[in-house]
A and B are shown apart, each in its own frame.
Chain A
Amino acid sequence: MQLKVQYFALMREQAGRSEETLQSSAASPRELYHELRIRHPFTLSPEHLKVAINGEFSDWTRGLCDGDSVVFIPPVAGG
Chain B
Amino acid sequence: MTRFRLTSVAIDTESARRELLYSGAGGYVSFEGWVRNYNEGREVTRLEYEAFAELAVNEGERIVADVAARIPITQALCIHRVGALEISEMAVWVGVSAVHRGEAFDACRQIIDAVKHRVPIWKKEFYRNGDSGWVNCEHCAAAPQQGEVEHRHAPHR
Contact = CB atoms under 8 A, between A and B. Distances in A.
Chains A and B come from one and the same complex? yes
B135 interface: yes
A8 B140 CA distance: 16
Interface in A22-48: 43-45, 47-48
Interface stretch (B11-19, B95-103, B116-124): B116-124
B107 interface: no
Interface in A18-74: 43-45, 47-48, 50, 52, 55-57, 71, 73-74
Contacts of B49: 78
B43 to A, nearest CB: 18
Interface string B109-146: 00010011111111110000000001111101111110
A8 B119 contact: no
A76 B134 CA distance: 9
Contacts of B7: none
B41 interface: no
B77 to A, nearest CB: 15
B150 interface: no
A1 interface: no
A40 B136 CA distance: 20
Nearest to A55: B54
B58 A55 contact: yes
A78 B144 contact: no
Contacts of A57: 55, 59
B116 A78 contact: yes
B137 A8 contact: no
Given A8-B50, A9-B134, A52 B140 contact: no
A10 B122 contact: yes
B46 interface: no
Contact of A44 (B54, B115, B117, B141): B141
Interface of A: 6, 8-10, 12, 43-45, 47-48, 50, 52, 55-57, 71, 73-79
Given A9-B50, A78-B49, A79-B80, 8 more contacts: A10-B137, A12-B50, A43-B144, A43-B145, A74-B134, A76-B117, A77-B137, A78-B121
Kindly list the 5 A-B residue pairs having the minimum CB-CB distance in the complex, ordered from nearest: A45-B144, A78-B121, A9-B122, A43-B141, A79-B116
